[in-house]
């Protein structure tokens, strides 16, 4: 039979897992839609700057 402490432990672990999963998904979406596009744009602009410098030489 399940004790009160056992039930509380299961509920707490389920809540902690839910928060962990939410954090992992939020991190994925932040990386995918916020940081990677900025990184790609920065890399592209850096390559364009290199091309302009090569044309000047």
Mean pLDDT by 10 residues, the chain (57 residues): 93 98 97 93 79 64
pLDDT of residue 50: 65
pLDDT of residue 19: 98
pLDDT of residue 55: 67
* 32 located within any domain: yes
* 17 located within any domain: no
Cα dihedral 17, 23, 28, 29 sign: positive
- Domain enclosing residue 34, as ranges: 22-52
* 11 located within any domain: no
pLDDT of residue 2: 86
* 57 located within any domain: no
The CA–CA distances, whole Å, from 6 to 13, 16, 19 equal: 11, 15, 20
pTM given for the model: 0.65
Total domains present in the chain: 1
CA distance linking residue 48 with residue 50, whole number of Å: 5
């Amino acid at each position: 039979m399940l004790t009160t402490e056992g039930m509380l432990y299961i509920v707490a672990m389920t809540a902690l897992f839910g928060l962990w999963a939410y954090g992992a998904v939020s991190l994925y979406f932040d990386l995918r839609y916020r940081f990677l596009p900025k990184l790609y744009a920065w890399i592209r602009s850096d390559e364009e700057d290199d091309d302009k410098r090569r044309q000047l030489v």
